[in-house]
Amino acid sequence: MKRQWWKPGVFGSVVLMITLLAPLGVAAQPPESEELPPAGMERVPGQYIVVLRDDTPDVGRAAAEIAQRVGGAVGHTYSAAVKGFVIRIPAGVEPVRLRGDRRVQFVEQDGIAQAFDHVASEIPTGVNRINAELNSTTAAGTGWGVAVIDTGIQLDHPDLNVVGNVSFVKGTKSGKDDDGHGTHVAGTVGAKDNGTGVVGVTPSVDLYAVKVLNKNGMGFWSDVIKGIDWVTQHASTIAVANMSLGGPGSDDGNCGNTNGDAVHKAICGSVANGIVYAVAAGNSTADATNYRPASYDEVITVSALADSDGQPNGTGPATSYGADDTFATFSNFGADVDEIAPGVSIRSTYIGSSYRTFSGTSMAAPHVSGAIALWIARNGRPSTGNATDPTVRQIIAESSESVVSFKGDPDGIAEPMVNADTAFVGGTGSSICCPAP
């Protein structure tokens, strides 16, 4: 469980799928993995993520030698966030044979990640509620971008500034969105302030489409890790990553080294390279401690607020997921939640150069990603993106308006409500956060 830096509260998150990022127009090779298993199956038969020891000098050589020894086929290799590779082994070959090499730290059977389904130039209510329209700072042109690790982004949407894309989903050649989830997330982060459509939290910010989920919002955890690895390789231009995706899992307090969680180990390697991660808490009305990556201490986990009018004080009409200014009824909760943001009836960009309104913690997390990007544009990026680091705790404090326990919060723990107003982003606000742990 995360160490509490403020009075308890709750935030929600949405689960998405991941793709690799690459310069716009450069296609990534599809992974060598097989088709997704049937719905409801959490593990992929015969497919494993092999995590190598950090001091392994040549990942490619190690992967080839181990695969030859067991008669397997190598898929993705990882070198930036974590050292390792994906392997498919023939039926009848015991996975314990993969561990019979001194370079192997642990082996995890591959599984399925999925987007937390959305449960069904105006300023969207969410952007209005967090006062982003009052912020004179812009992240556009600063050189720092936001990666959307999801179903991709519509690359030519007129309201989005997509500067790079990559895909790790089999059968796709770019980060083009064929589902709509990633494009919606991207618009909340950074839709242009161009007099048409909607406005994002940080208008015209550089967006990177990292496609790791397919047209049904599902994908392999091994593809997600590859997306994290790709973002880490591009840490010179990407400062923030949004992950509105997830699945079952927990935090061992040791970056996945104790419970053999390759996703967690990759996240730890990525935040060490300066990437700040905002992730959805999930939409299961459950404790986020049982979901990854929401449970990881190293990320900023976001729950969802039901807000109908973009204003505080709870005077707006009721929403489909709770009264105005209450904890969204679908949102995950718990001590692992770091911030809360609007996540009900959020209007944003969508595929087909259109706009749609959706709800979910997937819609809440990008409000925080945008606020973080604004803070970095104004103050410079932190040396580490680890959410337990004092600088990142400062970012959370200075991009939040207050600590609030919203009505309907199942656990009664209050976390900060994100606020992107200039008075807060930059350190001149009076938010309450982060006493010494």
DSSP state of 168: -
399 within a domain of the structure (yes/no): yes
Asked if residue 392 and residue 332 are part of one domain, the reply reads: yes
79: buried, middle or exposed (CB in 10 Å: 19+, 13-18, 0-12)? middle
Highest mean pLDDT among 37-46, 358-367, 412-421: 358-367
Q: pTM for this structure? A: 0.85
Give the pLDDT score at 32: 39
Same domain, 105 and 125: no
Show the domain range for 81: 43-111
pLDDT value of position 91: 87
Residue with the larger pLDDT of the pair 365 and 379: 365
**Do residues 85 and 124 share a domain?**
no
Is the pLDDT at 347 greater than 90? The verdict is yes
CATH classification of the domain holding 201: 3.40.50.200
Is 14 a member of any domain?
Answer: no
Residues in CB range of 1: below 8 A, 6 or more apart? 251, 289, 334, 335, 336
Q: Do 103 and 134 fall into the same domain?
A: no
The enclosing domain of 88 has a CATH number of 3.30.70.80
Specify the pLDDT at position 140: 63
Residue 206 appears among annotated catalytic residues: no
Per residue in 256-292, pLDDT (tens digit) is 999 999 999 999 999 999 999 999 999 999 999 999 9
Whether residue 262 is contained in a domain is answered as yes
118: confidence class by pLDDT, cuts 50, 70, 90:
low
Q: Residue written as tokens 């990759």? A: 266
Q: Does 38 reside within a domain?
A: no
Same domain (yes/no): 121, 185: yes
Please check whether residue 8 lies inside any domain of the structure. no
Pairing of strands 300-306, 339-342: parallel
Catalytic residue among 76, 118, 181, 234: 181
With cut-offs at 50, 70 and 90, classify the pLDDT of residue 437: very low
**Under 8 Å between Cβ of 348 and 367:** no
20 part of a folded domain: no
Residue 181 designated active-site: yes
List the catalytic residue out of 13, 33, 76, 150: 150
Assess whether 78 and 133 both reside in one domain. Answer: no
Q: Do 104 and 174 have their domain in common?
A: no
Residues 274 and 308 in one domain: yes
- Do the Cβ atoms of 282 and 247 come closer than 8 Å? no
Question: Same structural domain for residues 215 and 345?
Answer: yes
Q: Catalytic residue at 236?
A: no
Q: What is the pLDDT of residue 100?
A: 87
**Residue 32 resides in a domain:** no
* 433, part of any domain: no
What's the whole-number mean pLDDT along residues 305-320?
A: 86
Are 160 and 20 in contact, with CB atoms under 8 Å apart?
A: no
The rounded radius of gyration (Å) of the Cα atoms in the chain is 20
Q: How many domains does the chain have?
A: 2
Across-strand partners of 15?
A: none
Q: From CA 37, how far away is CA 127, in angstroms rounded?
A: 38
For 5-19, 73-87, 108-122, 179-193, which range has the lowest pLDDT when averaged over its residues?
A: 5-19
Is the domain of 175 the same as that of 120? yes
Structural domain ending residue among the three candidates 54, 77, 111: 111
Q: Which one from 362, 369, 400, 431 is the annotated catalytic residue? A: 362
Query: Are residues 67 and 127 both part of a single domain?
Result: no
* Whether residues 166 and 311 fall in one domain: yes
